[in-house]
Amino acid sequence: KILLLSKYLLDYKKYNSSYIETTWESCTLRKWLNNDFVSNSFTDVEKNSIKITTVENDGNSDYDIDGGKDTKDSIFLLSIDEAKQYFPKNIDRMCQATKYAEAQGSEFDSITRNCRWWLRSPGSSLYSASSVKIDGFILQMGTLVSVDKSFVRPAMWVEFKQ
């Protein structure tokens, strides 16, 4: 079993379609990733390799915000802790979008082409979600779930069968 994380940011979306208290469990971005995105992005053979995983939804310790219930997902976003673990330095977290994602009305640095991307962890309240800024800094206070858009960098656990 291996964790795969997209090298590029694949789309530009809101974390949730409505301005309500939202956790990863209930956000519309999670539903899109595990339904439309999976259906349209992978062959049947590839889908069979993607493992349904129990995703631990830790809260935001800086703001004492609960992350909600753990979920079972094929595709998910990294948490604050996972982003720090897998990418220890800001420069390691910098990421560029695909041409498709840029065309969705995105914001990016005109020189580096780096973009902001969502994490699944809540921000300073359940009306916001954390993200990684253009410079790779983790914005733990987050941005508003239904007002702001950020890029989507999907992750998944894959098991290759022999």
Q: What is the pLDDT of residues 78-123, one digit of tens each?
A: 999 999 999 999 999 999 999 999 888 777 888 898 999 999 999 9
Residue-level pLDDT at 149: 87
Distances (CA, A) of 115 to 105, 123, 131: 12, 18, 10
pLDDT over threshold 90, residue 161: no
pLDDT over threshold 70, residue 26: yes
Q: Where are the beta strands (DSSP E) in 15-154?
A: 50-51, 53-55, 71-73, 117-122, 128-132, 138-144, 149-152
pTM value is 0.96
- Average pLDDT score, the chain: 95
State the DSSP code for 109. Answer: -
pLDDT over threshold 70, residue 162: no
Rounded CA gap, 89 and 121, in Å?
A: 19
Residue-level pLDDT at 59: 96
> What's the number of CA atoms in the CB half-sphere (13 Å) around residue 80?
22
Strand partners, 2: 158
